[in-house]
A and B are shown apart, each in its own frame.
Chain A
Amino acid sequence: MIAQALTRRRERRVLPGFGLSLGVSLTFVSLVLLLPLTSLVGQLSQLSWSQYWFLITDPRLLASYTVTLLAAAVAALFNAVFGLLMAWVLVRYEFPGKRLVDALMDLPFALPTAVAGITLATLYSSNGWIGRLLEPLGISVSYTWIGIALAMAFTSIPFVVRTVQPVLEDLPAEVDEAAMTLGASDGLAFRRVILPYLWPALVTGTGLAFVRSLGEFGAVIFIAGGKPYETEITSLMIFVKLQEYDYAGASAVASIVLATSLALLLAINLWQGRFIKRLHGGRG
């Protein structure tokens, strides 16, 4: 049916290269993306429902879900606030070193996660530069969920900043001015006028940061320490099962992680689509 549709439309195509680019893209997507993912389905199909259920509800695993979700949520919320602040400061104010700070925002994407992982672990260990200062206060970051959240927050910093920044840049001065001529204070104008403009970008960025944090591995494992029932994240559980050659167990857990991420990604896209439609004249 698709092939039919394709031939039907062919005469309307002006530009060359449709067949070639379709061929290359489909081959690549099938071989690199889809084929490996089907192998996961294949592995899982060898399990019965009860086996599957047993594997994914292992208490140690359940504890890892909790710690991963909690830490990722904290990291995403931190980044929502921090990202909004950074986007605002970088767009609205001039200060020395601004371009350097702007460039630094991308560091977590450019820096390999393993490097971030060992660095954070070293900084926050009890004799590290920061850990040493926190220890007398009774705060330990290493080997706790706080450390996990910190590592997750670090690796997902750019998401919120980089989604909010362009929207804030494009916000016309009239929006500020209209709010001020109507007597609104700074706080009120930000909350009721500017924030709603940024809202779609902020939610999208925070959502992406959350998804990324759920799957984060390299940055987290060093600072987490991997104490069963306490600081084991779900990605680490997959890794541990693989090292024990428990492919079925690893696949079962992976299917949960994969489904969650894809569902979240889909939800973000759908939500974004609906929101944008409303602002551009769709019925409220």
Chain B
Amino acid sequence: MIRIGDAPSVRRLLIGIALTLTALLLLLPLVAIFAQALMSGIDVYWQNLSDTYTLAAIGLTLLVAVITVPVNLIFGVFLAWLVTRFAFPGRRLLQTLIDIPFAVSPVVAGLVYLLLYGRNGWLGGWLDAHDIQIMFAWPGIVLVTVFVTCPFVARELIPLMQAQGSREEEAAVTLGASGWTIFRRVTLPNIRHALLYGVILTNARAVGEFGAVSVVAGAIRGQTNTLPLQVEQLYQDYNTVGAFTSASLLALLALLTLAAKAALEWRAARRETAT
């Protein structure tokens, strides 16, 4: 088969430019993270990792992810079910609304939460009176992270469930299955890859969110520092090796995310060719 751009000279030129730019823009920064982290040797690396503040930051980051991911998973599934299985007025509006976190600058996201729950905010007075601390504490970090990551699961599920249509579920209804059974036995097997992918993306973003979190965290070392905030703080303190040590953990997670995504896509592609 002959196609446009098949001439060897064109092909070589385009592949050459593409590979050079990819190496320069994407591969080099990735290598640099680990190179910087290990600059002073592996002992210093371990030392940096086992630093109390770093460990605390890892703990807080995990806590945020552990709460955020299930919350958004549940919300994403309900929303996707709602907008792909039913027709109702305002459906498009709802779909547009959940895209807002993608469009909003993370700093603005942090700001609106600060305005709501902060000392001078609408709920701030009430919270203060009941001695509940949300801003500049971990609940605030969780809240903004939920905000920032809420579209991911729904975004993965909606196009897929729309394309699949509801015939299979309708068939299950005619066979007398209950709602939960239908979801678990008919819908879930069809969407589990997309669901998993949505979870992976949610997790990656939840762990890595910086802008929104930095507004609401207040950065009390050892208490409200997530890993990305820890990276920033160490970097501002001119502790480059320390900053990149924490960064390398996040980069490792990013690589795992990419690998998981590639594996999911590979399996999906293989299933497609098999049928």
Contacts and interface: CB of A to CB of B under 8 A. Distances in A.
Interface of A: 2, 5-6, 9, 13-18, 20-22, 24-25, 28-29, 32-37, 39-40, 42-43, 82, 85-86, 88-89, 92-93, 95, 97, 99, 101-120, 122-123, 129-130, 153-154, 157, 173, 176-177, 179-180, 186, 189-190, 194, 211-212, 214-218, 222, 234-236, 238-239, 242, 247, 250-251, 254, 257-258, 261-262, 264-266, 269
B125 interface: no
B228 A114 contact: yes
Q: Describe A's contact surface by its main secondary structure.
A: helix
A215 B78 contact: no
Contacts of A102: 262
A254 B74 contact: no
9 contacts: A5-B89, A15-B169, A33-B100, A39-B115, A112-B208, A118-B231, A173-B3, A217-B211, A257-B108
A274 B120 CA distance: 45
B4 A186 contact: yes
A16 B258 contact: no
Contact of A28 (B75, B115, B253, B257): B75
Contact of B105 (A21, A261, A266): A261
Contact of B228 (A20, A115, A216, A262): A115
A21 B78 contact: yes
Interface in B139-182: 143, 146-147, 150, 166, 169-170, 173, 178-179, 182
Given A21-B81, A39-B121, A107-B30, A254 B103 contact: no
B82 A119 contact: no
Most chain A CB within a 10 A radius of its CB, from B114, B211, B231, B235: B211
Contacts of A16: 173, 178-179, 182
Interface residues of B, number: 104
Contacts of B115: 36, 39-40, 42-43, 247, 251
Interface string B57-73: 00000000000000000
Interface in B12-40: 14-15, 17-19, 21-22, 24-30, 32-33, 36
Nearest to B3: A176
Contact of B147 (A13, A32, A89, A111): A32
Contact of A190 (B4, B30, B106): B4
B98 A103 contact: no
A222 B262 CA distance: 30
A213 B19 CA distance: 24
Given A37-B112, A93-B15, A109 B204 contact: yes
B118 to A, nearest CB: 8
Contact of B261 (A22, A35, A89, A103): A103
B25 A157 contact: yes
A176 B166 contact: no
Contacts of B211: 113, 217-218, 235
B88 A6 contact: yes
A53 to B, nearest CB: 20
A36 B97 CA distance: 13
Closest 3 CB pairs of A and B: A112-B208, A215-B105, A16-B179
B208 A115 contact: yes
B28 A89 contact: no
A104 B1 CA distance: 29
A194 B228 contact: no
Given A16-B182, A21-B81, A25-B82, A115 B108 contact: no
A22 B90 CA distance: 11
Contacts of B214: 218, 239
Contact of B254 (A88, A107, A176, A180): A107
Interface centre among B29, B147, B182, B229 (most CB of A within 10 A): B29
A24 B78 contact: yes
A246 B251 CA distance: 35
A38 to B, nearest CB: 8
A120 B102 CA distance: 23
B78 A20 contact: yes
